[in-house]
Chains A and B, each alone.
Chain A
């Protein structure tokens, strides 16, 4: 009980400064639990520095004081053990690790137990991007959340194991195929923070990044409303382009003719493609639809069958918009530029 009281007091003291500034050891504190974690980190750091200095100073003092001198190659006999001393230096570390374990477990319970009123967002990881699905069905490539409200992430993977990591929130959880894992946080400061994939997943592992965008209270609802209805307010080509940008297509398919993991979409529509089985297919609306829903049925020669299926993840009007966008990439448009390229350069 005393420990708990002390813990709460120290946690309050260790809360981030108002600007949530980064320290020598830690990034900014931007979630409610970050202060708790950093407090424990600093406690262990203090203990470690104390013992490290103790060990090194004692060692150096002995090296200097008891250095070997001419004619004194062996030392005079001294005690070979001392039971009291040995009990003490076993007992003190035991006490210390019990304390560290207690605080580590206590704050872990907070990290791993989402409050009942959490706003739930579904997360899906795949090589090499994230999909964030909101309660109304809208899907985004970045994680938009309200400030000062607990958010629970219900996560799964389409292919291999990934791990969602938000350093500024001190949150990390593996994203495993075939099961759901959960993470939660309550963001305290509006702003943009990095999301990394922390479990190695192949070629694009280090580029499997996204941003958390924390909206000030009251601004998240209107943002979601506006973002969700983009197909209604945009032309099919614009809408398709946005889907291309936010649904993971651009990770593997370029629109400028360059090769990536998958074929380019530039001048794709109407083209005759050779497939891995040797046959030839003309790219039309039905081929594009099939390639989205059953991507590995007809794989273009020279590429691996690695694309995940979009069965059940794209609605009919979204598929229609993507087809319209691919049709528009015929090389006749005045300006061919890569959507979303600003974000990429910003990160690098």
Chain B
């Protein structure tokens, strides 16, 4: 079995009993009330991927409706609900919790050589909050859904007859889930780093989760308060945003984007963290410019709080504010560019493997470059006036959110899958699906840049005949994406049953999660670990017979303190 097999390779791995975290404890209650970060992570992963499927179905329905101008398969009101639900589900249920809660939860304690996060009960509470929030959102969809767009702009959202209160209440509860995860990660990274792991010896994925957590803890409460004010206005008639009640609708936009722009970085920062890990491992080489990348994560987190006003360039806010926000917006471009250059430099003189996770890294570099560079058009004031609220913006943020975050998330899933479930997936089908996603994605969204710069506004049910070819190409692209994801679902699920047993360290990562069994035992490690250099790939040797990377000096990662006991 996997455990016995790896026990031959390295003496310190696997439980002697053959137990792992998946088999320790049986029955649904042992999952629902678990305090094990790995089980919470797996539950998060199942729920989050379920939400991704739901949001994806909404996306395909939207693209099908847009096959022709006017009615194709649904009415205008249904369409308006569809794009609102696509946005709300993808953002609040999938992409914000995505990497931190599903992958971060699993990997963070392992990378620290720790038994769990610092606050395991808070971790479980975070998951329950997610479940509660998601349930409220789903109920609101069933009882009538919302048609406001995921942004809930006032005064439309305070006057429409749809289920705005329950949807915003759902988002409010989901906010707590996000805050708890962030808080937990901050505390864990501060208090549980192992002997020898100074701040600048942390894996970069942890730096990115740490920066993300800062935003989660500081920005999410603002969204909570904003949504409560919105609910108060709708249910109690308190005039805050609605001019008919003496309020200011643009104030809502400031509040909303004060959270929701930093939230963009909640989505992209952990994705960058994954890329930093993967590019080093699959280049067989130390990451280039470690300190710069770490500082860039922190810089992005700080700057992300100062740029929300670029969503309001056409709102009528003063020219002075527009100038300040435009200038600040450009500053965020710099750390992102530096990271891209550092990843490229990591590949220089490497030993580059093209295994599935690396295909996602290459895909990420290609797509994120486009997503980032098209941000320049939108940060610049006069070009933004033309492009604001058009498909150009839709394409831009999909290149960043999907081409960046989702692609990195997929890379991360393929990278840590053997560790999480102890099985290898079909490399052949993984490559096919990665290639199809790349092609389908570009067909879907590149066409939208061209439509947008020609003046096609977003959130349009009906459109001019001239835009039809672009829309149809985009729809075809979305179907290719749908097929690619079905293939992925199939080979990943198949691997759980039929997949080859995974060795401890199939890729050659030097971070600590690869120094325990695949899948890990419930308590993660049998020994107390020390934090060595996370990118010292030279300390590993590839063992051809087992397909495993082993440490040249196996004892080096154990703390001498436990050794004496």
Most A CB within 10 A of own CB, among B314, B370, B537: B314
Most B CB within 10 A of own CB, among A47, A48, A79, A101: A101
Asked if B465 contacts A348 (CB within 8 A), the reply is yes
Asked if A41 contacts B377 (CB within 8 A), the reply is yes
User: What is the CB-to-nearest-CB distance from A46 to chain B, in angstroms, rounded to a whole number?
Assistant: 11
Select one of B156, B326, B334, B459 contacting A160, CB under 8 A: B156
User: What is the CB-to-nearest-CB distance from A247 to chain B, in angstroms, rounded to a whole number?
Assistant: 22
A22 at the interface (CB under 8 A from B): yes
Q: Roughly how many angstroms separate A304 CA and B77 CA in the complex, as a whole number? A: 15
Asked if B377 contacts A44 (CB within 8 A), the reply is yes
User: What is the CB-to-nearest-CB distance from B279 to chain A, in angstroms, rounded to a whole number?
Assistant: 10
Q: Mark B337-380, 1 if CB is under 8 A from A, else 0.
A: 11011101101111111100000001001100110011011011
Q: Are A177 and B244 also in contact (CB < 8 A) when A73-B351, A101-B380 are?
A: yes
A3 at the interface (CB under 8 A from B): no
Q: Roughly how many angstroms separate A12 CA and B453 CA in the complex, as a whole number? A: 21
B149 at the interface (CB under 8 A from A): yes
Select one of B322, B338, B362 contacting A89, CB under 8 A: B338
B454 at the interface (CB under 8 A from A): yes
Enumerate chain A residues within 8 angstroms of B76, measured Cβ to Cβ. Answer: 203-204, 206
* Beta-carbon contacts under 8 Å, B313-334 to A: 314-316, 319, 322-323, 326-327, 330-331, 333-334
Q: Roughly how many angstroms separate A94 CA and B327 CA in the complex, as a whole number? A: 11
Q: Roughly how many angstroms separate A311 CA and B352 CA in the complex, as a whole number? A: 72
Enumerate chain B residues within 8 angstroms of A179, measured Cβ to Cβ. Answer: 243, 316
Asked if A40 contacts B382 (CB within 8 A), the reply is yes
Q: Which of A192-200, A222-230, A286-294 contacts B (4 or more CB under 8 A)?
A: A192-200
Q: How many residues of A contact B (CB 8 A)?
A: 90
Q: Roughly how many angstroms separate A159 CA and B508 CA in the complex, as a whole number? A: 61
Select one of B159, B323, B351, B455 contacting A66, CB under 8 A: B351
A278 at the interface (CB under 8 A from B): no
Q: Which of A106-114, A129-137, A211-219, A248-256 contacts B (4 or more CB under 8 A)?
A: A106-114
Q: Roughly how many angstroms separate A177 CA and B250 CA in the complex, as a whole number? A: 10
Asked if B383 contacts A41 (CB within 8 A), the reply is yes
Q: Roughly how many angstroms separate A7 CA and B373 CA in the complex, as a whole number? A: 22
* Beta-carbon contacts under 8 Å, A130-164 to B: 159-161, 163
Q: Are A176 and B315 also in contact (CB < 8 A) when A41-B377, A108-B382, A160-B155 are?
A: yes
Q: Roughly how many angstroms separate A161 CA and B99 CA in the complex, as a whole number? A: 35
Q: Roughly how many angstroms separate A209 CA and B556 CA in the complex, as a whole number? A: 70
Q: Roughly how many angstroms separate A222 CA and B416 CA in the complex, as a whole number? A: 74
Q: Mark B190-205, 1 if CB is under 8 A from A, else 0.
A: 0000000000000000
Select one of B314, B383, B457, B508 contacting A173, CB under 8 A: B314
Q: Which of B40-48, B53-61, B286-294 contacts A (4 or more CB under 8 A)?
A: B286-294
* Beta-carbon contacts under 8 Å, B426-471 to A: 450, 453-455, 457-465
Select one of A104, A178, A181 contacting B383, CB under 8 A: A104
Asked if A56 contacts B366 (CB within 8 A), the reply is yes
Q: Mark A288-329, 1 if CB is under 8 A from B, else 0.
A: 000000000000000010000000000000000000000000
Q: Roughly how many angstroms separate A171 CA and B537 CA in the complex, as a whole number? A: 55
User: What is the CB-to-nearest-CB distance from B251 to chain A, in angstroms, rounded to a whole number?
Assistant: 11
Q: Mark B368-410, 1 if CB is under 8 A from A, else 0.
A: 0110011011011111111011100000000000000000000
* Beta-carbon contacts under 8 Å, B63-107 to A: 69-70, 76-77, 80
A117 at the interface (CB under 8 A from B): no
Q: Roughly how many angstroms separate A207 CA and B508 CA in the complex, as a whole number? A: 57
User: What is the CB-to-nearest-CB distance from B313 to chain A, in angstroms, rounded to a whole number?
Assistant: 8
Select one of B250, B341, B370 contacting A176, CB under 8 A: B250
Enumerate chain B residues within 8 angstroms of A69, measured Cβ to Cβ. Answer: 351
B285 at the interface (CB under 8 A from A): yes
User: What is the CB-to-nearest-CB distance from B422 to chain A, in angstroms, rounded to a whole number?
Assistant: 22
Most A CB within 10 A of own CB, among B290, B338, B383, B459: B383
User: What is the CB-to-nearest-CB distance from A330 to chain B, in angstroms, rounded to a whole number?
Assistant: 31
Q: How many residues of B contact A (CB 8 A)?
A: 96
Most A CB within 10 A of own CB, among B70, B153, B319, B376: B376
User: What is the CB-to-nearest-CB distance from A258 to chain B, in angstroms, rounded to a whole number?
Assistant: 15
A201 at the interface (CB under 8 A from B): yes
Enumerate chain B residues within 8 angstroms of A110, measured Cβ to Cβ. Answer: 382
B221 at the interface (CB under 8 A from A): no
* Beta-carbon contacts under 8 Å, A19-72 to B: 22, 24-27, 33, 36-37, 40-41, 44-45, 47-48, 51-52, 55-56, 58-59, 62-63, 66-69, 72
Q: Are A74 and B155 also in contact (CB < 8 A) when A206-B463, A347-B464 are?
A: no
Asked if B370 contacts A111 (CB within 8 A), the reply is no
Asked if A78 contacts B349 (CB within 8 A), the reply is yes
Q: Roughly how many angstroms separate A167 CA and B386 CA in the complex, as a whole number? A: 7
Q: Roughly how many angstroms separate A202 CA and B156 CA in the complex, as a whole number? A: 8
B249 at the interface (CB under 8 A from A): yes
Most B CB within 10 A of own CB, among A51, A63, A174: A174
Q: Are A78 and B334 also in contact (CB < 8 A) when A26-B453, A51-B369, A206-B461 are?
A: no
Q: Mark B238-260, 1 if CB is under 8 A from A, else 0.
A: 00000110001110000000000
Enumerate chain B residues within 8 angstroms of A89, measured Cβ to Cβ. Answer: 337-338, 341
Q: Which of A80-88, A232-240, A263-271 contacts B (4 or more CB under 8 A)?
A: A80-88
Select one of A22, A59, A66, A109 contacting B349, CB under 8 A: A66
Closest to A173 in B: B314
Asked if A75 contacts B350 (CB within 8 A), the reply is yes
User: What is the CB-to-nearest-CB distance from B149 to chain A, in angstroms, rounded to a whole number?
Assistant: 5
Select one of A78, A104, A160, A205 contacting B348, CB under 8 A: A78
Asked if B284 contacts A55 (CB within 8 A), the reply is no
Enumerate chain B residues within 8 angstroms of A33, measured Cβ to Cβ. Answer: 382
User: What is the CB-to-nearest-CB distance from A91 to chain B, in angstroms, rounded to a whole number?
Assistant: 9
A97 at the interface (CB under 8 A from B): yes
B160 at the interface (CB under 8 A from A): yes
Asked if A163 contacts B314 (CB within 8 A), the reply is yes
Enumerate chain A residues within 8 angstroms of B508, measured Cβ to Cβ. Answer: 73-74
B496 at the interface (CB under 8 A from A): no
User: What is the CB-to-nearest-CB distance from B517 to chain A, in angstroms, rounded to a whole number?
Assistant: 22
21 contacts between A and B (CB under 8 A): A24-B450, A25-B453, A36-B382, A55-B365, A59-B365, A62-B344, A67-B352, A75-B285, A78-B349, A80-B289, A93-B337, A97-B376, A104-B379, A108-B385, A159-B159, A161-B249, A174-B314, A176-B315, A202-B80, A203-B77, A348-B462
Which 5 residue pairs of A and B lie closest in terms of their CB atoms, listed nearest first? A167-B455, A178-B243, A104-B380, A108-B381, A107-B382
* A contact set with B: CB distance below 8 Å: 22, 24-27, 33, 36-37, 40-41, 44-45, 47-48, 51-52, 55-56, 58-59, 62-63, 66-69, 72-82, 85-86, 89-90, 93-94, 97-98, 100-101, 103-112, 159-161, 163, 165, 167-168, 170-174, 176-179, 181, 194, 196-207, 304, 347-348
Taking A41-B383, A160-B153 as known contacts, 16 extra A-B pairs with beta carbons closer than 8 A to each other, sorted by chain A number, are A26-B453, A26-B454, A27-B455, A47-B373, A59-B366, A67-B352, A72-B351, A74-B508, A77-B538, A85-B345, A100-B330, A101-B380, A108-B323, A174-B315, A178-B249, A200-B80
